Structure 1
Amino acid sequence: MILAATLVCSVSATHGSRLASDAALELRRANELGGYLVETAPISPGKTSGQTQGFAWTLQVMDPVNAFGPGAICERKIVLTGLRDQRQFTVRANAVCPAAKPA
C-alpha cells in the first residue's frame, strides 16, 4: 500500500513538472518570437498576420499619435497564440515612425 501511494505521488509530480516545463518552453519561444517581430516590424501603420514556430501571430502598427516634426510615435502590438493550447502572449512597444501627412 505504501509503495503504491509512493508511485502514484511520484507519477503525479512527474506529470506536473512536465506541464510546467512545457509552459516555460512555450513562454521562452513566445518571448523570442515577439522580440524578433517587434524588431522587424514595418514602420507604416497596418495589420499583418502569420503562423510560425507553433504560434499564430498578429502584428498591428497603430497610426501615429504624437508627431514631432517629420517623426511620430507609433505603437506596435503583437499577439501570439499558441497553436497547441491556445495560450495568448502580447508584446507592445513604441517606435519612431513617419508623421501622418495633413489632409
Structure 2
Amino acid sequence: MAEPPVLAADMRLWRSDGVAATVRAVTALGVFVVVDGERSPSVVDPRRWRLAAACDYCDQAAEVQLIDGQPWDVLCRLHARDHFDRPADWVRPIPQRVVRALWSTCRELW
C-alpha cells in the first residue's frame, strides 16, 4: 500500500460531493483549507478529502476542464496558461459533477 501524501500549503483537494478546496496550512490544530468560492479558511477532516486529479500533461493538480473533451480532460494552471483566471472558449472551471465523477479515482490522504 502506498504511503499517504504529506499535506502542504497550496495542494488542491476534492471531496466526494464535488467540493474543491486549496490547503492553506497544516498545523497541530488541523488542516486549514479555503473552499472554492469562500474567502476564509476552515479546519477540515482530511479523511473526507482526496488529492485533486492530476493534469493530463503533468502531475500537478487539475483546476480547469476542456469544454469539448471528456470529463477526465483536465489541466493544471500551467497547462491552462493564462486561461485559468479568465477561461477561454476551450476551458472552464471543473464542475462539481465532474469532481464527483472523478473523486473515486483520486489518491486518498489517509
TM-score (norm 1): 0.24
Larger radius of gyration: 1
Which structure has the highest strand share of the two? 1
| RCO comparison, higher one (Cα < 8 Å, 6+) | 2
TM-score (norm 2): 0.23
